[in-house]
Amino acid sequence: MSTLRLGDIAPNFTAKTSEGDINFHEWLGEGWGILFSHPADYTPVCTTELGTVAKYTEEFTKRNVKVAALSVDGVDSHLGWIKDINETQNTTVNFPIIADEDRKVSDLYDMIHPNADTTLTVRSVFVIGPDKKIKLTITYPASTGRNFDELLRVIDSLQLTAYHKVATPANWKHGDDVVIVPAVKNEDIAELFPKGHKEVKPYLRVTPQPNV
């Protein structure tokens, strides 16, 4: 196991899940993916997180993102827990939960941080692009449930900046102005950004979001 960094290929693996066996790269296909870990089944924060992700299905699908959760419990445990999630969170879990009983995937993705907990995973998030490269990693402690609105916001930024020569400023959200990357020469701006731009400073050039 070595630390995974942005731009690395997301390691492939085969695993049992609540929706059958998967080969991760084949399961991802040509689109975007999110892999996120949970400390354990039948725990309160995780229950709310998985319910929230299930409710966001339409948002992930719209962005061509497949979601896979992981915890170090087995398939039977996952299936029982999913019933609880559906009941208590008033939703239907419709994405696979990886059963990582032997910690194979957790080790591959460095999801167990022994100085935090020797056996349970932390709350890791990996966003993976269509090229299978890691685009984003975030790590939360077990005691803090993730903000999935933030995850959607980052995916919007990643998908925008993957296809346009822009970056997104602090607190940006879909529809806000974006910044033109420094590599773009002033003489190319008019052609690349027909909606116009404003030069606040020579290094800070702002333009309306190109893809809305």
Question: Which residues contact ligand BEZ (rule: CB under 6 A)?
Answer: 39-40, 43-46, 142-143
By beta-carbon proximity to ligand BEZ, the closer residue of 43 and 137 is 43
Give 43: exposed, middle or buried? Use CB within 10 Å, 0-12, 13-18, 19+.
middle
By beta-carbon proximity to ligand BEZ, the closer residue of 47 and 157 is 47
Distance CA 212, CA 199 (A): 21
Strand order in the sheet with 204-207: 166-167, 178-180, 204-207, 198-201
* Shortest spacing between CB 94 and ligand BEZ, in angstroms: 20
* Shortest spacing between CB 65 and ligand BEZ, in angstroms: 23
* Shortest spacing between CB 211 and ligand BEZ, in angstroms: 36
By beta-carbon proximity to ligand BEZ, the closer residue of 122 and 134 is 122
* Shortest spacing between CB 46 and ligand BEZ, in angstroms: 4
Q: Which of 28, 46, 98, 105 is catalytic?
A: 46
46 in active site: yes
Write the Ramachandran bin of 177: left for phi over 0, alpha for psi from -120 to 50, otherwise beta.
beta
**DSSP state letter for 11:** P
Cα-based angle 206, 208, 212 (whole degrees, multiple of 5): 155
By beta-carbon proximity to ligand BEZ, the closer residue of 101 and 117 is 117
Distance CA 65, CA 130 (A): 9
Distance CA 47, CA 145 (A): 10
* Shortest spacing between CB 197 and ligand BEZ, in angstroms: 45
By beta-carbon proximity to ligand BEZ, the closer residue of 45 and 192 is 45
Q: Which two tokens stand for residue 14?
A: 């085969």
Question: CA dist 205 to 75, 91, 170, Å?
Answer: 51, 44, 14
Query: At 89, phi and psi to the nearest 5?
Result: -100, 0
Catalytic positions, written as ranges: 46
